[in-house]
Amino acid sequence: MTQVRARAAGDGVLPSVRPLWWQRLCLSSFLLAGLTGLILLVAVDALLRQGRLGTVLAAGRAELAAPLLVALVVATGICERIWPAERRPVLARGHIQDALFLALHAVVVIPLMTLLSVGAAALLSSHAPWIELRATEHWPGWLLVPLTVVAMDGANWLAHYADHRLDPLWRFHALHHSQEELSVLTSFRAHPLMHTTGFLLATVPVVALMPARPIAPVLITIYVCIGTLQHANLRWTFGPAGRVLVSPAYHRLHHAPDTQDVNLGVVLTIWDVLAGLAQFPSRADAVGRTGLDGRPVPVEQDDSAGSALLLLAEQLAEPFQAQS
Ligand SMILES: [Zn+2]
Ligand SMILES: [Zn+2]
């Protein structure tokens, strides 16, 4: 196979070099996929040996697809029709594409998240048992559980910070930021491999603080609900509570092309405040645009975009292609 294509000598055009096939691929993305596969193998192996694979997957689905979350998405969708930050049709291209991501989330991402938690905990317990703080065994639940949830939120903030600072992670996070028509469904617009670092980091405080006690599933569901609301197409700032909890208006600033460095919080704003990266919105602010300048990730708003399913495949494949 000829890898180098040179124009005929003397035609006045410089030789053009066609990259080798592997030069057109992004190696770091394949490494992250391999790491994710390894964690999943550890989880499946441990659960099969315990005979609990089906039980744990069902429990994960109950936490991450709880009726409370479904009800919240539907109620938020109704609020978006009544008080939209940006008025647009129900079947706007962004809504349809994000609905496909919701389907992917239900079928692929929820089991993936469940197994990532199990695999990360198994790896930490076997390779770094010293992180388990046995002293917390006797702490009362009313102190330990909120402390663990807040620490998990801090770990999620750190993972999100890394998503923006480290190029190999940004390649997967960019898809989430590519949405130009934010709605509650955008919470599910994420590459499945975007979750690996977050679950690895968020498992650390759980294993450290509560090695022998599970967190009540309802708390995880409530945490996910608050995290889902932040993408709503609403101007809500949550008033005084918005100084502590991430509101749709607060998170919208993070999705603006020119202020992505601020407001990285997932549920709590305290981490942004501590890092000097909090920018609080006001009700009087104009509703800014969202998305990525130059559209580095293929988006449905582009007139040349193909069918929604074909575009979904392109969006999922994009991080594996080398950037020119
Ligand atoms: Zn982000
Ligand atoms: Zn977001």
CA 255 to centroid of ligand 1, rounded, Å:
7
How far, in Å, is the centroid of ligand 1 from the Cα of 175? 10
Ligand 1 centroid–CA 303 distance in Å is 25
3-state secondary structure 44-69: HHHHHHHCCHHHHHHHHHHHHCCHHH
Identify the three-state secondary structure at position 165. Answer: helix
Q: What is the pLDDT along the chain (324 residues), one digit of tens a residue?
A: 334 343 444 444 556 677 777 788 999 999 999 999 999 999 999 999 999 999 999 999 988 888 999 999 999 999 999 999 999 999 999 999 999 999 999 999 999 999 999 999 899 888 888 888 877 888 888 888 889 999 999 999 999 999 999 999 999 999 999 999 999 999 999 999 999 999 899 889 888 888 777 777 888 888 899 899 999 999 999 999 999 999 999 999 999 999 999 999 999 999 999 999 999 998 888 899 999 999 999 999 999 998 999 999 999 999 999 987
Q: Is the whole model's pTM more than 0.95, yes or no?
A: no
CA 270 to centroid of ligand 2, rounded, Å = 17
Instruction: Say how many Å lie between the CA of residue 148 and the centre of ligand 2.
Output: 23
Centre of ligand 2 from the C-alpha of residue 251, in Å: 7
What distance in angstroms lies between residue 179's CA and the mean position of ligand 2's atoms? 9
- Name 125's Cβ contacts closer than 8 Å, sequence gap at least 6: 132, 207, 211
Question: How close is the Cα of 234 to the center of ligand 2, in Å?
Answer: 14
